[in-house]
Amino acid sequence: MNITFVLNGKTVHAETAPDENLLSVLRRCGVMSVKCSCDTANCGCCTVWVNGKPTLSCAYPAPRADGQEITTLEALTEEAESFAAYMADEGADQCGFCNPGFVMNVLAMKRELTDFTEENVRTYLAGNLCRCTGFASQHRAVAAWLKNTGREAAEV
Amino acid sequence: MLFSSYAAPASPDEVIALLGKRNNRIAAGNLWLRMSRRTGGTMIDLKNLGWDQIEETDDAYLIGASVTLHMLETHPGLNAMTGNLFADAFRAIVGVQFRNAATVGGSLYMRAGFSDLLTALLPLNAAVLLYPEKEIPLAEYARLAPAGELIRGVRIPKQEVRVAYRALRNTAGSVPVLTCAVAARGSALYAAIGARPMRAELIGGPGEAPESLAAELTRLTYGTNRAASEAYRRHVAGVLFARCAGEITGKETQA
């Protein structure tokens, strides 16, 4: 079946099987930042935004994407690079496989949260699993980046 | 191949007609369904029914079946009424990306024993709204086996309530070993205990004291699986209940 959706600001027509997931269609469209890692909807590597909301593209039925707006890391290069510098500074960028999904969720968090307490940040990013870092370096990078971009915990 | 065709009907009657064929299934969040072993049939998508809204009436919140868990946990009105009950109950469910997909209707239809949603909704006196029009108290619905019914939404009555939620997980982000929600409404006190590992059950009523409810919950059925033993769950139920009751009454009770 054919679907039409907006991918990173451009209208795209794609062929999909009825039971295919969005991740597979995106990779066929040349979007290689999205990856399937756990295959059980747990790891967050496949995170994209559907109408601005971070979503697991491995579980999102591709036919459902018809008429929707899909955003991937490829559309957020500048902002992602600015955050990636903080990841590098903290040594949080190791094998890098989970980075695109993690960055997509970090950028979504920055748009959605209003109070960037450590607990709120950790809760928001809990769905992105990393086998290398143990998360401490990632969270240091996120905290430094938030601080330097004017997003901090609200005054109590 | 999981499905051989896909349909996104524009009316619930068309969904009902499609559900008449044995192999057809509604895909809600598609989080569990995608991992199932099944072949053929039609994947039914409810996206064109407009059931993805939370409506506020004079006396209730009407939650559409396709409302996601993340919508529920971030709704200002529900958070104000329940003291962030759903945020407390859902924060350990995998991650935001998962909760932006998981739906209220899909979760309730599954009636999973480990459902944080079912446990949280039970003491709020919620009701399941079916199509064609039928309303079933959630406590009753939770005891029924899934039978291909079409959930339209959930009604949560507006109420003055103090409610607290606790769950125990062996690992952060995994399914809970035990769930507990306690609510005080007027002189009534209720507790819902889930992941025993059976589905959540509601106990309590008007005039119930925390001490009698604590005794009652030890008499519920608990079970053993890979995650925890029956005895451990029974003990944890008492501990979580005492913490919840303490939070809403401001004093400790004996577990």
**Amino acid A155: pLDDT:** 53
Give me the CATH number covering residue A32: 3.10.20.30
Q: Residue A125 and residue B100: Cβ atoms within 8 Å?
A: no
Q: Residue B43 and residue A123: Cβ atoms within 8 Å?
A: no
**Amino acid B147: pLDDT:** 93
Of A50, A74, A98, the position where a domain reaches its end is: A74
Q: What is the mean pLDDT of residues A95-123?
A: 95
| pLDDT, tens digit (0-9, with 9 covering 90-100), for B13-53 | 999 999 999 899 999 999 999 998 888 999 999 999 999 99
Please check the confidence at residue B106 and state whether its pLDDT lies above 60.
yes
Q: Residue A56 and residue B97: Cβ atoms within 8 Å?
A: yes
Residue B26: closest CA among chain A residues belongs to which residue? A61
Pairing of strands B42-45, B25-27: parallel
Domains of chain B by start residue, with CATH = 1-47 (no CATH), 48-157 (3.30.465.10), 162-249 (3.30.390.50)
Does ipTM exceed 0.90? yes
B95–A contact, CB cutoff 8 A: yes
Of A74, A103, A137, the position where a domain reaches its end is: A74
Residue A11: inside a domain, yes or no?
yes
Is residue A94 domain-shared with residue A63, that is, in the same domain? no
- In this complex, the residue of A19, A125, A126 whose CB is nearest that of residue B43 is A19
Residue A122: its chain B contacts at CB < 8 A?
Answer: none
**Amino acid B121: pLDDT:** 98
Q: For residue B14, what are the β-bridge partners?
A: none
* CB neighbour class for A130 (10 Å; exposed up to 12, middle 13-18, buried from 19): buried
Is residue A129 domain-shared with residue A139, that is, in the same domain? yes
Is residue A23 domain-shared with residue A56, that is, in the same domain? yes
Listed by number, the residues of chain B in 173-232 with a beta carbon closer than 8 Å to a beta carbon of chain A are: 173
Please check the confidence at residue A126 and state whether its pLDDT lies above 70.
yes
Query: Taking all residues of chain B, what is their mean pLDDT, rounded to a whole number?
Result: 95
State the distance between the two ends of chain A, measured CA to CA, in whole angstroms. 53
Q: Residue A55 and residue B91: Cβ atoms within 8 Å?
A: no
Is residue A68 domain-shared with residue A86, that is, in the same domain? no
Is residue A43 domain-shared with residue A92, that is, in the same domain? no
A41–B contact, CB cutoff 8 A: yes
Query: Taking all residues of chain A, what is their mean pLDDT, rounded to a whole number?
Result: 94
Q: What is the mean pLDDT of residues B189-201?
A: 97
**Amino acid B252: pLDDT:** 53
- In this complex, the residue of B29, B47, B97 whose CB is nearest that of residue A54 is B97
Listed by number, the residues of chain B in 43-62 with a beta carbon closer than 8 Å to a beta carbon of chain A are: 43, 45, 47
| pLDDT, tens digit (0-9, with 9 covering 90-100), for A54-100 | 999 999 999 999 999 999 999 999 999 999 999 999 999 889 999 99
Residue A156: inside a domain, yes or no?
no
Q: For residue B202, what are the β-bridge partners?
A: B192
Residue A155: inside a domain, yes or no?
no
Q: Which residues contact A23 (CB under 8 A, 6 or more apart)?
A: A34, A35, A36, A46, A57, A58, A60
Domain boundaries, position A132: 76-148
Helix axes A77-89, A99-112, angle to 10 degrees: 110
Residue A54: its chain B contacts at CB < 8 A?
Answer: 96-97, 100
State the distance between the two ends of chain B, measured CA to CA, in whole angstroms. 50
Q: Which residues contact A26 (CB under 8 A, 6 or more apart)?
A: A7, A34, A48, A57, A70, A72
Residue A88: inside a domain, yes or no?
yes
Please check the confidence at residue B243 and state whether its pLDDT lies above 50.
yes
Residue A49: inside a domain, yes or no?
yes
Is residue A118 domain-shared with residue A67, that is, in the same domain? no
Distance from CA of A140 to the nearest CA of B (A): 19
Sheet with B5-7, strands from edge to edge, namely: B5-7, B42-45, B25-27
3-state secondary structure B181-193: EEEEECCEEEEEE
The tally of domains found in chain A comes to: 2
Distance from CA of A133 to the nearest CA of B (A): 17
Task: Calculate ∠ Cα A4-A9-A13, nearest 5°.
Answer: 20
Residue B46: closest CA among chain A residues belongs to which residue? A64
Is residue A52 domain-shared with residue A82, that is, in the same domain? no
Is residue A82 domain-shared with residue A32, that is, in the same domain? no
**Amino acid B118: pLDDT:** 98
Residue A153: inside a domain, yes or no?
no
Of A74, A106, A133, the position where a domain reaches its end is: A74
Give me the CATH number covering residue A140: 1.10.150.120
Distance from CA of B203 to the nearest CA of A (A): 31
Please check the confidence at residue B245 and state whether its pLDDT lies above 90.
yes
A47–B contact, CB cutoff 8 A: yes
Is residue A29 domain-shared with residue A90, that is, in the same domain? no
Residue A154: inside a domain, yes or no?
no
Q: What is the mean pLDDT of residues B130-137?
A: 97
| pLDDT, tens digit (0-9, with 9 covering 90-100), for B53-80 | 999 999 999 999 999 999 999 999 999 9
Residue A30: inside a domain, yes or no?
yes
* CB neighbour class for B129 (10 Å; exposed up to 12, middle 13-18, buried from 19): buried
Listed by number, the residues of chain A in 75-94 with a beta carbon closer than 8 Å to a beta carbon of chain B are: none
Is residue A68 domain-shared with residue A111, that is, in the same domain? no
Structure tokens at B59: 């006396």
Q: Residue B94 and residue A127: Cβ atoms within 8 Å?
A: yes
Distance from CA of A89 to the nearest CA of B (A): 26
Residue B3: closest CA among chain A residues belongs to which residue? A19
Is residue A92 domain-shared with residue A32, that is, in the same domain? no
Residue B98: its chain A contacts at CB < 8 A?
Answer: 41-42, 56, 127
Q: Number of CB pairs < 8 Å for A and B?
A: 85
Q: How confident is the model at residue B173 (pLDDT cuts 50, 70, 90)?
A: confident
Q: How confident is the model at residue A156 (pLDDT cuts 50, 70, 90)?
A: very low
Angstrom CA distances, B22 to A35, A57, B97, B148, B170, stand at 34, 28, 31, 9, 37
